[in-house]
Structures are given as structure tokens and as C-alpha cells.
Chain A
């Protein structure tokens, strides 16, 4: 997804839904900040006395899932699709042809042959561990990284994450089912297919909405996120918008993501959870959203025809300026995206020296950049617990800023 879209799209959506200009820009910066903390662009760690603060990593191209599985947490949020539903969809897609019939066969077969809990086999959550060497007792008793990676490799030995449901993996599974003598192999493949299905990222998935509802609910009662609810909402809007990044038509994907962002912000403002699917009832779409959507559509299609770069940023900034409330007239420089805005403010607030030492801890902890990283840390931890819930504890997405007492 285009980094400009994360910032300007969110900014415009917030203004459209009636958020105050300052808060709207703050939310836009939170949403955009996640794009600035990839493996190549993440800022250096900062220090206070002997304590180190490591920013949360949001993308890494070195491996499929990224370091700390950060790609799963920020770039391709798993939909945790219900495999029965997914199978049903797959069957309906291929209804009438031989693949569809075989698919039905596969479904009944997998229902009979439930995965066995075999030690050191393909079942992730039932593998034996050594409590002395495989558990990190200093950080709450989680599995150590090397053990998680070992499990992950076992669980995902041959499968790859498909962006679409009809990948070669499934075809291979169906093909093997024809051979009655290879039922066991087919069972293993079916398990891998099921895993790949769960890990696949789907645009506007129910799980993505659950993620947003988590912050909408908890901001009212959970002490842990009360100070960081707005940054957390921004961070999760970034993840939510990224669920559209696998769509073929990029312009249409951004337009839909914009409407979804408007709907999410409205839910936040009204303090009601997002629906399981869909946005507004037909005919009830706010006129401001319709108008902004039309403008965005024309902007994106015109930019598609011309060169990308500063011109695109200026077009977005003009569109934002057009939507600012009357009486609020910042300069164009104030609206435009400054990629290191939050980080620079944190350096100033913390009086950070050129050797990366924080001298004003209180000021630093008040900075929006620190709050964003706290929020991102919370998100990673929350997602890791969701993985455990789905019996996929091998995909440990947890990241910590550093010493838990120091950076609380």
C-alpha cells in the first residue's frame, strides 16, 4: 500500500468524519509511522542510562515472515479463515468441474482424519520442549526465539502463504487424493493447506475488524491502553488498510480502504464496534464520505496516468486543505507529510544527544513516537496471543521495546 495513502488517506478520512484537524493529523502520523519502521528505515536504538529502547520493527524482507514475524503483524494480517467456510467457497468456485468434486471429497476426508497429536510432528502445539533451554524465563515464560522458529519451520515445512485461495498447494492436495494408497500424505498436505489458509491475508477480514474492535472496546476500561488508545487505533488502521494491498486493482483497493477507514473512525467516535462485515446500509452513506471518495478516486486515477513523486504529495495536500474546517488554515507545509516528524519530535522532547542518549526521560515518554512504539508493542503481543488461541503458537509476533519496568 502506498505510504502517501496511509497518511493522507487517514487524514482525509478523519476530517471527513468530523475529527478535529489536529487530532486528525496526529492519527494520520500514527498510521504512517508504521511505514517508517521497516528493517531498512527503522531508527537506531536509543538509550537512557544502561537501558536500551529498540523501536518496534514493522516489516522485514529478509525472510517470508520477517524478523519477529513482523510481516504477519503489520503487513499481511492473517485472516484466520474458517477452513470449512474457505473450503465451501473454494468448492463453489469450482462447482461442476472435477476439482469441485474432489474438493468435496477432501472435506469429508479431513473431517474423518483429524490431525493427530504426534510429538515432534506437524502439530505445533503438542511438541515437547525443554523448560531450561526453550523458555525465556526472564520475559514472562514465552518460548525462546529459536524454539519458535523450529516449530514454525516444522509447521510450515513446505507450505507457502498463498495470497489467493486457489494456489498450487491445493491442487497438489487434491491430486494426491486420487491415489488411495497415499491417504496419509494427503492428510498431511491437507493440514498444511489448512495452515496456509489460516495465515492468508484477506482484505477487510473479520479478524481485522476484531482487531479494531479490540481497541474500541478496551479504550474505555483497560488501563494498559488508556494512555495509548489513539496511537494504537492509528497503528491498527495501518494494519487494516494493508489488508487490501494484495488486491489487483490498486486504485480501487485504496478507494475501498478509504471508505473502510471512514467507517472505522465513525465507529470509534460513536464508541460502537464495527459490524462483522459491510459498512453503511444502502442509502445511509454520509454525503461527506461520498464526496471525499469521488475526489480521491479522481486524484488516484489522474496520478496513475502521471509520474509519481512530489506532485502526488502536493495533490493530496491540496485535497486535505480543501477539507479543513473553516477558520483553520495552516500552511501547505503544515499539512504535507514529513516522514520523520514523530521521531524528530521525540528526539527534541527527550533532549536526545548525538550519541543516542536520552537526557529528559519524562519528556521523551510524552512524545507521540514513544506512544506509537508502545502501541505497536501492545499490538504485537495481542496478536501473539491470538495465534496461541488458534493453536499456532509457533508464530510468535511478540516484540519488546526493552526493559519492561523502564519503558512502561
Chain B
């Protein structure tokens, strides 16, 4: 059994960064990644000291069992996942998300979400056991980019980074995104809440996040334990 964890924080420069995962030890790695990446970006005269969140909270869902590996993500789970992340993404600039949330197989879940929410940059990570720890075998980080908006000159690029579940990989991902955003800003590739209204909304609070997470856990429960079919006697 495991829990979903959602952590949302406001960085020292005001950016909103969030994490959603079913691996509980990722939270610490996420925090460490941010603290190192923002060491010299927090506007203070202490470049050697780790950065701190302006504000942050964490929510844990109820326990649930991971769904066994299938050929593809069940439609109900995919739908539930999309609804959950769309709700959690309000105002979030960077989302760290498990590649396969709530299921055992290494199946993609975030592609629809990444297409729908172009004002947010995504960092996807898989379970440690799936990626393996040998640096000779797999790369540390692989980054792709897609145009943020179909309108205009398509200067701004949305980051889609796949990385290992490590603090150093998370740190590199944040660095890459922050640097790219600064570059885009210089060239006129700004984030536009007139196109993506969700990015201008305030981030979700702790209570609402708790409800949303548990709603998805219910979907996982019902998919993993379908209600028994009515027998003849039950019907009577």
C-alpha cells in the first residue's frame, strides 16, 4: 500500500512549483533539488546558503494499492488523472509528476495534460527500480520542448523533461527551466494568461488539494476492486 503525495511551494522569486507522486521519499529529493537550484537565485547576499521556500505545504492521500501493469492506462484512470492534475495545476509554473502515477507499469499518463496546459513546464520521473541506477546505461536527464502557444511567433517553449528520481536531476531540471524562461522573456515569449486562464489563478490550498487527491484514490480503488455483479438473489 502507498499514498499519493502532493507538495506545493512558492519559490523565493515567486514561481510556483509543485510535486505529485506515489513515491513517498521523493518529497525530500524535490525539496533538495529546489534548494540547490535556487541557492543563488533567491536575491539574498548568501549565495552559499541553501534557498528556502517562501511558503509550502504537503498533502498525503489515503492509502491505496498500485494497479497491476496492463497494456495501457485504463480509460477511467486516465480520465481521473487528467481531472485531478487540471485541478491541482492552477497557477503552477513547474510541475514535477510521476510518469506512472498509481499504476505499476511504466505507462505514460501525462501526455494529455502536457498538451492541455502549455503555460506550465513539466518534469516527469519514473520509479527508481524501472530506471535503474547505472549512469552508463541511462542518461540523467532528457529534455524536450514544444511551442507553448499556437498563436504568434511561437517563441516560448514548454519544457518536458524526463529525469531520474534524484535531487541532482531535479536541480538540473529547475535550472534548465528557469534559464529557458528567462531567455524566452528576453525574446518576447511571455507566459500568457489571456490564452491559458488557469495560470493566472491562485494556487490551490491544502484542503482542496486533499479532497482532489482522495477523489483520484477512489477512482484507483474502484478500478482495482470493481463492485461485484448483482446476483439473482441480490436483485430480489
Contacts and interface: CB of A to CB of B under 8 A. Distances in A.
Contacts of A150: 71
Contacts of B164: 132
B139 A133 contact: no
B111 A119 contact: yes
Contacts of A120: 71-73, 107-108
A128 interface: yes
A283 interface: no
Contacts of B106: 130, 133-134
B108 A138 contact: no
Interface residue range, chain A: 10 to 19
Interface in B100-128: 106-108, 111, 124, 126
Contacts of B130: 133
A137 interface: yes
Interface in B57-105: 71-73, 99
B207 to A, nearest CB: 34
What DSSP secondary structure best describes chain A's contact surface? Answer: loop
A94 interface: no
Given A128-B111, A130-B108, A137 B138 contact: yes
Range class of the B interface residue count: 20 to 34
Contacts of B163: 132
A130 B111 contact: no
B162 to A, nearest CB: 5
A131 interface: yes
Given A132-B131, A138-B137, A154 B111 contact: no
24 contacts: A119-B108, A128-B108, A128-B111, A129-B108, A130-B108, A130-B124, A130-B126, A130-B162, A131-B139, A131-B142, A131-B162, A132-B126, A132-B138, A132-B139, A132-B142, A132-B162, A133-B126, A133-B130, A134-B106, A137-B137, A138-B136, A138-B137, A153-B71, A154-B71
Interface of B: 71-73, 99, 106-108, 111, 124, 126, 130-131, 136-139, 142, 162-164
6 tightest A-B contacts by CB? Answer: A131-B142, A128-B108, A120-B72, A131-B162, A132-B131, A133-B130
